[in-house]
Structure 1
């Protein structure tokens, strides 16, 4: 399988722009009502990993990792579709389901398509960043 790093970098940049606009009150969508200050930024303590800033919600859910995302096109598509299916099953506004879904992924000891058939903890930071992008894309109807 061929990696799509440049596409992932573009997607990461686009996602960052969208998240910045949403967190600063842009877009007029009431779904993102949390102020920017509600997200804490921590440095990852993984030795040997390319460490970027990691944003977590007040509930301890990783919501952003500032490293270039890395996944294959197939992994990204599977993650996005699995997320979309989960969100459709829950009903309601998908934007409000992002954090609960991420919490489930990050605490689930089972591997699945949303985490590239690995567990969250087995993924590199770059792969975790790609999962975050796929989840946000699913919530925005991007898959």
Structure 2
């Protein structure tokens, strides 16, 4: 899914896009369209430097969303529930957890999300239950 800009906000205002990952019986994820600025077609996002965007994950009882940066995660500043970036947990507590990033530097990177019951501080699931039920979903991010 790709996210294409429909309109730009001027005068230094950032653009806010929300993407939702929805677990589908642990067999994959569906993408939902949120907001009016971006249209979701593939798991790719194109943003301008200075833009702010969010990825929302649906919480699953007994699991936490884990995410990690791949490529050059220094392109992004994470503004979420954990100071650890690029490898940290989104613990959630409600129906969804919102992960907000700001695009700092032009380039290309990606963020990989997966469900995890017990991950420790690893960037991969450490228990068998999580390994069998975890299907990483990568979001490719290009910063212009």
Tell me if TM exceeds 0.5. Answer: no
Q: When you count strand as a share of all residues, which structure comes out higher?
A: 2
Q: When you count helix as a share of all residues, which structure comes out higher?
A: 1
* Smaller-chain TM-score bracket: under 0.3
